[in-house]
Homo-oligomer: A and B are copies of this chain.
């Protein structure tokens, strides 16, 4: 595996520096080298939106810093939760006195570090409330929602939470909207090739050529089954068969679809899958209100796709419609 890095142990540092230089109109560094913030954060009178997570998921997480999106982000090592200190510093950077909504994904490390950060923030007088994304259907049965991982649905949670905050909502309203967003969102991924953490140097899981792993996690966490690789159309059907009954989605629903590549999947292939996804949804009477197709939440150079569907109501629609200006999601 030919990597384009300097010292493999400092890829996150180098990446963050480059990211700030390239996007100085949107993001700014903070005193904590692992925390980036929106150039205008804290935004006066606005609830702060914070997230964070392991690195290697570009544009997540730092790519969603921006106008009507996140105010500050804590960046961890590759695939590893940021420190409690980084989450705390992100909360500090985001808080304008209106409180902070920390919207993150359900992983053991993130849970612990956010928990410790929230405790410290409270001591400083910063009110933080959290929403924990758990949109990945494949990661636990429906009876154990609290065990499910957060995956690409987080992007929609940030979009909704970020928009709501910019509309002037208070902390409880922002939290309620973000919670509603994720509660109405279901995702599943299919992996077709693994990825390699630069400092490790070899893939830490395998997907045999000719096979695909349905339900795979963003860090290669094993999925629900390994199957011979199918056609793009069959993959679309299989993913929808997992997602649609889970919420469930029904005829008449209006939805947002987010179809993300896992990193190395050509965008062409993502559109081939999307073509069938929309066709099947149309057959079922489910209307795509808005589609996002592209590399929205990746895992280094893993191959495969994740499909995310969010059921809309008027409030969620209003939030989805709002313009956004972040590196990973720009909407005019």
Contact = CB atoms under 8 A, between A and B. Distances in A.
B207 A18 contact: no
Chain A, interface size category, equals 35 or more
A315 interface: no
Interface stretch (A91-99, A180-188, A231-239): A231-239
A298 interface: yes
A192 interface: yes
Interface in A279-309: 288, 291-295, 298, 300-301, 303-305
A207 B265 CA distance: 19
A2 to B, nearest CB: 4
Interface in A8-50: 11-12, 14-19, 21-23
A323 interface: yes
A245 interface: no
Contacts of A257: 22
A108 interface: no
A113 interface: no
Contacts of A55: 268
Contact of A273 (B4, B23, B331): B4
A3 interface: yes
A251 interface: no
A81 to B, nearest CB: 17
A171 interface: no
A52 interface: no
A325 interface: yes
Query: How many copies of this chain does the complex contain?
Result: 2
A200 interface: no
Contacts of A22: 257, 259, 271, 274, 278, 291-293
A292 B263 CA distance: 18
A265 B196 CA distance: 12
B11 A278 contact: no
A275 B23 CA distance: 11
A291 B4 contact: no
A295 B17 CA distance: 19
B274 A21 contact: yes
B6 A300 contact: no
Of A19, A63, A67, A210, most B-chain CB atoms within 10 Å = A19
Question: Can you list the 7 inter-chain pairs with the closest CB atoms, starting with the nearest?
Answer: A18-B275, A264-B264, A18-B271, A2-B192, A58-B267, A330-B330, A4-B269
Given A4-B269, A22-B259, 19 more contacts: A2-B212, A2-B229, A4-B265, A4-B272, A4-B305, A5-B269, A6-B232, A11-B272, A14-B271, A15-B269, A16-B271, A21-B275, A21-B278, A22-B271, A22-B274, A23-B291, A56-B266, A267-B295, A295-B295
7 contacts: A14-B271, A15-B268, A15-B269, A18-B273, A58-B266, A268-B300, A330-B330
